[in-house]
Structure 1
């Protein structure tokens, strides 16, 4: 029975040594995994810091560009206002020219009627004068012929 006790203690000791061996192996594997995780976390932390810095720079540049765009668009406002005023002035001038053109056209039509009447009266006056002159010349010729006879 003593032998059995020694064998049992021997088996327990061997089992304990095997258990400790696998526990040590597992602990070393966990340590290696933990180191890999730690390296990965540090790498990710560095990348996140880099991305955060680049994002911050990008936001700063975007804000700067936005302010520059705002400033430039405000400076262009006066150009657009001037262009609008110029357009309004040209439109008003076009209306004035149209009214003036209509007025001139109406006056020209009225005066052309008056000129046509004046030409007709002048033509009639010239015809009357020509007839009067012919009549006068005929009467003078007849008087001259009667005098010479």
Structure 2
């Protein structure tokens, strides 16, 4: 019976040693894995810092472009207001020119009738004068 007790103790010790070796190997692999994770996280942190810096720079440029576009839009609004004023002035000038043309045309028609009457009277007078001389 003693041999069985010693054999059981030896088997238990061997199992304990094997278990210890496997635990040590598992801890070594876990340590390597954690080092790789740490390195990866450091790289991600560096990349995120770069992305954050680029995003901040891009946002700054976007704000500058928006301000520049706003200034140019304001200048363009002034230019468009001026062009609108010129268009209104041209329309008023066109209207005045039409009124003047209509007035001249009416006056011309009235004068044409008077001129026609004067020519007829003049022709009649000349006819009368030429008839008397003959």
Normalization by structure 2: what TM-score?
A: 0.93
Question: What's the counterpart of residue 131 of structure 2?
Answer: 131
Residue-by-residue CA offset, 1:66-85 (whole Å, 9 max, x unaligned): 11221222233322221111
Residue-by-residue CA offset, 1:9-56 (whole Å, 9 max, x unaligned): 111111111111111111111111111111111111111111111111
**Alignment RMSD (CA, Å):** 1.2
| Alignment of 1:68 onto 2:68 | yes
Gaps of 5+ in 2: none
Distance 1:117 1:33 in 2: 120
Distance 2:114 2:100 in 1: 21
Please state how far the C-alpha of 1:119 moved relative to its aligned partner: 1.1
Please list every run of at least 4 consecutive aligned residues from structure 1 whose deviation after the TM superposition is greater than 2 angstroms: 75-78
Question: What's the counterpart of residue 59 of structure 2?
Answer: 59
How many residue pairs get aligned? The number is: 134
| Alignment of 1:45 onto 2:40 | no
Distance 1:125 1:40 in 2: 121
Gaps of 5+ in 1: 135-149
Distance 2:20 2:125 in 1: 148
Distance 1:60 1:130 in 2: 100
Question: What's the counterpart of residue 18 of structure 1?
Answer: 18
Normalization by structure 1: what TM-score?
A: 0.84
